[in-house]
């Protein structure tokens, strides 16, 4: 079992398949011209499967594939089908634009739940946020996933003055559709234009929803990052990921592997362990993995302040979100 110095058991691994993406969300990546890693620096399919198998032997039973955009990887289907042979609950986070090409692969891999990121229900705002004119394709693909009976979670990075006005439109969407909308507080990463004034907080989100809807709290799972709610008589639910104002580190069970094979024990960890170099030199990785887990900081990688208004972004030591894997 992978246990840290704060007695938290880690059974959930998020694997980034690539640091490339077909969108350009400003809150996730530095700029349009960002360089992506050459394939030789990324984990190959066989290396991903070998890492996943090793982590499963150490107690991991849940794996999420992310990126960059995981579906831009040419060997995505082979990777997910190989991983589906492991005794894990497998899931994926995607921007949704290529989902229609992979419905059968998702079924073969026995995926049940898929997270799709969509920050706006307005095509012009979508273009401004992602720099790609693909709103309708993403929306259609969400409908396609629902039609094929996947459980769909919608990730909405909620930013003050940018899309906070749309919160209730997203909640309205849950009336007829069995989707699970998750409002995510805007987090700071390297060069992502974060400012504390752009954070639309957990409390502000709830207040906004309360102006239009009566909602109830529903039970959260032990390791959930979300606080879940439901408007009575709605088919779907909504939830809030409150990293900035009410972090959920106490029960954290997550570990991360970047696309270039570095292990991070927290989204905000300063340190990384270069597992890919160890693997390629035929060295034992178990000590490096257990040590990495053991040294996990109590909260927020030990570097984000609990009062988010005091965060100085230039002092943060981290990659951009696209290079970590969200």
Note the residues at the interface with ligand SF4 (CB under 6 A).
Answer: 21, 23-25, 28-29, 67-69, 95, 117, 322
User: Tokens 């302040």 correspond to what residue?
Assistant: 305
Binding partner of 83, given ligand SAM, ligand SF4, none, CB within 5-8 angstroms per partner class? none
Our CB check for ligand SAM shows the closer of 66 and 225 to be: 66
Judged by DSSP in three states, 179 sits in coil
Measured distance CA(80)–CA(279) in Å, rounded:
21
Q: Which of 13, 52, 63, 67 binds ligand SAM (CB under 6 A)?
A: 67
Write the DSSP assignment of 216-269 as a string of letters: EE-PPPTT-SEEEEEETT-SSEEEEE-TTTS--GGG--EEEE-TTSEEESSTT-
Please report how close the Cβ of residue 134 comes to ligand SF4 at its closest, in angstroms.
10
Our CB check for ligand SAM shows the closer of 11 and 66 to be: 66
Please report how close the Cβ of residue 278 comes to ligand SAM at its closest, in angstroms.
25
User: Tokens 């399919």 correspond to what residue?
Assistant: 45
User: Tokens 């906004």 correspond to what residue?
Assistant: 208
247 binds ligand SAM (CB under 6 A): no
106 binds ligand SAM (CB under 6 A): no
Our CB check for ligand SF4 shows the closer of 29 and 209 to be: 29
Measured distance CA(31)–CA(52) in Å, rounded:
31
Binding region for ligand SAM (CB under 6 A) out of 98-106, 185-193, 249-257, 281-289: 185-193
- Among 157, 199, 204, 205, smallest CA distance to 307 is for 199
Binding partner of 29, given ligand SAM, ligand SF4, none, CB within 5-8 angstroms per partner class? ligand SF4
User: Tokens 């921007």 correspond to what residue?
Assistant: 95
Binding region for ligand SAM (CB under 6 A) out of 7-15, 21-29, 282-290, 295-303: 21-29
């Amino acid at each position: 079992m992978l246990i840290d110095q704060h007695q938290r058991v880690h059974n959930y691994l998020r694997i980034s398949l690539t640091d490339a993406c077909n969108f350009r969300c400003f809150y996730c990546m530095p700029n349009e011209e960002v360089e992506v890693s050459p394939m030789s620096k990324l984990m190959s399919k066989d290396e991903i499967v070998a890492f996943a198998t090793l982590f499963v032997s150490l107690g991991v039973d849940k794996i999420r594939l992310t990126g960059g955009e995981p579906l831009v990887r040419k060997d995505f289907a082979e990777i997910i089908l190989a991983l589906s042979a492991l005794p894990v609950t497998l899931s994926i986070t995607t921007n949704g634009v290529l989902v229609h090409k992979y419905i059968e692969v998702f079924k073969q891999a026995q995926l049940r739940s898929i997270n799709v990121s969509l920050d706006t229900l307005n095509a012009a705002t979508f273009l401004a946020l992602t720099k790609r004119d693909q709103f309708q394709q993403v929306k259609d693909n969400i409908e396609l996933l629902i039609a094929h009976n996947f459980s769909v979670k919608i990730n909405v990075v909620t930013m003050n003055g940018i899309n906070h006005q749309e919160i209730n439109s997203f909640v309205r969407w849950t009336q007829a559709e069995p989707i699970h909308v998750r409002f995510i507080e805007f987090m700071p990463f390297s060069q992502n234009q974060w400012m504390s004034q752009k954070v639309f907080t957990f409390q502000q989100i709830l207040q906004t929803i309360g102006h239009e809807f009566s909602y109830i709290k529903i039970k959260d799972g032990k390791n959930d990052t979300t606080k879940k709610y439901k408007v009575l008589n709605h088919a779907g639910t909504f939830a809030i990921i409150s990293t900035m104002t009410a972090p959920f580190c106490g029960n954290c069970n997550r570990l991360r592997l970047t696309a270039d094979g570095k292990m991070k024990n927290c989204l905000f960890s300063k340190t990384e362990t270069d597992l890919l170099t160890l693997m390629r030199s035929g060295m034992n990785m178990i000590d490096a993995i257990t040590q990495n887990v053991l040294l996990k900081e109590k909260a927020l990688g030990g570097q984000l302040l609990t009062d988010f208004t005091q965060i100085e972004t230039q002092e943060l030591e981290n990659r951009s979100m696209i290079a970590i894997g969200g």
